[in-house]
Amino acid sequence: MKRASSMFSCLLWFLGAVLVVYQLVSYATFYNYLLDPTVKQIAHLLANQVKLILPLEQSQASLSDDAEALVSVATGVDVYSQREAETNGLRESDRYPFLETLISRELGGPTRVRVELQEHYIVWIQPPQANKVWVRIPLTEIEDDDILPIIFFLSVMLVGTLFCAWWWARQLVRPLKCLEEGAIAVSRGQFPAPSPEQGSRELRRLTRTFNHMSRSLKNLVEERNLMMAGVSHDLRTPLTRIRLATEMMSSGDEFLKESINADIDESNDIIDQFIDYIRPDSGIVMETLDLAVLVHDAVLLPVEQGLEVALDLPPDALPVECNPVGLRRVISNLTTNALRYGASRLWVELQGDEHWARLRLSDNGPGIPVQDCERLLRPFTQGDAARTRSGSGLGLAIVAKILAQHHGSVRLGRAEQGGLLVELRLPRQQPLEWEES
- Tens digits of per-residue pLDDT, 86-128? 888 888 888 888 888 888 888 888 888 888 887 778 888 888 8
Does residue 251 form part of some domain? Answer: no
- Tens digits of per-residue pLDDT, 155-169? 787 788 778 878 877
Any residues with CB less than 8 A from the CB of 174 and at least 6 apart, and which? 198, 199
Does residue 72 form part of some domain? Answer: yes
Q: Answer for the pair 397, 382: CB distance below 8 angstroms, yes or no.
A: no
Last residue of a domain, one of 85, 111, 142: 142
Last residue of a domain, one of 119, 142, 165: 142
Gyration radius (Cα) of the chain, Å: 44
Does residue 206 form part of some domain? Answer: no
Query: 126 — phi, psi (to 5°)?
Result: -110, 100
Does residue 280 form part of some domain? Answer: no
- Tell me the pLDDT band of 3, cut-offs 50, 70 and 90: very low
d(CA 347, CA 295): 12
Handedness of CA 257, 258, 261, 266 (dihedral sign): negative
pLDDT at 357 over 50: yes
- Tell me the pLDDT band of 417, cut-offs 50, 70 and 90: confident
Last residue of a domain, one of 121, 142, 163: 142
Strand pairing of 308-312 and 287-290?
Answer: unpaired
Q: Cβ-count burial of 327 within 10 angstroms (0-12 exposed, 13-18 middle, 19+ buried)? A: buried
pLDDT of residue 2: 43
- Three-class SS state of 196: coil
pLDDT at 258 over 60: yes
**CATH code of the domain in which 23 resides:** 3.30.450
Query: 414 — phi, psi (to 5°)?
Result: -100, 125
Does residue 171 form part of some domain? Answer: no
Of 57-61, 220-224, 317-321, 396-400, the range with the highest mean pLDDT is: 317-321
**CATH code of the domain in which 339 resides:** 3.30.565.10
**How many residues would you count in the chain?**
437
Does residue 110 form part of some domain? Answer: yes
Nearest to 248 by CA among 256, 268, 266, 265: 256
pLDDT of residue 386: 44
CB atoms within 10 A of CB 383: 19
Query: 412 — phi, psi (to 5°)?
Result: -105, 150
Counted domains in the chain: 2
- Tell me the pLDDT band of 148, cut-offs 50, 70 and 90: low
Nearest to 327 by CA among 406, 248, 387, 386: 406
Residue 384's domain comprises 287-427
**What mean pLDDT do residues 377-403 have?**
66
Any residues with CB less than 8 A from the CB of 190 and at least 6 apart, and which? 282
Q: Where are the alpha helices (DSSP H) in 342-421?
A: 395-405
Q: Which of 50-59, 253-262, 296-305, 371-380 has the lowest mean pLDDT?
A: 50-59
Does residue 111 form part of some domain? Answer: yes
Does residue 89 form part of some domain? Answer: yes
pLDDT of residue 403: 86
